[in-house]
Amino acid sequence: MIEDDLLKIIANRNLNNRSLIIKKLNANDPLTGIHVLFIGQGEKAAQAQLLKQAQQQSILIVTETRDALAQGSMINFVTTDNRVRFEVALDTAEKAALKLSSRMLSVALSVTRGAP
């Protein structure tokens, strides 16, 4: 699962002299102070509730489940040809007042505007 890989990559990292912190949330936990919300495959049952909460704030929503962009995710990891790639819902990110790097968009498997 991508969740395990992200935990390894982010461990003991800093960004602009701030520690990156990983929190495991439950569906009803407040999203206060969250900047990026990753919803892994193991959280499929809580995904709809978490997406609904996160969409009310400027939180980058990242998932790894089928049709997640249609449900409100902004970046969704997919496996294609035994490689992990990602797809982007640009309008969803823009509605949350988030700007995504053109460099990142250029390497995405797909970038959709409007309803995916």
Give pLDDT tens digits for 50-75. Answer: 888 888 899 999 999 988 999 999 99
Question: pLDDT tens, 69-116?
Answer: 999 999 999 999 999 999 999 999 999 999 999 999 999 999 998 655
Rg of the chain taking only CA atoms, in angstroms: 14
Residues whose CB is less than 8 angstroms from the CB of residue 53 and which lie 6 or more positions away in sequence, other chains included: 31
Long-range contacts of 6-11 (CB under 8 A, 24+ apart): 6/38
- Parse the chain into domains and list their residue ranges: 2-112
Q: What is the predicted pLDDT for the residue at 115?
A: 56
- 8 Å CB contact between 38 and 6: yes
End-to-end CA distance of the chain: 24
d(C-alpha 97, C-alpha 62), whole Å: 16
- 8 Å CB contact between 40 and 68: no
Specify the 3-state DSSP secondary structure of 11.
coil
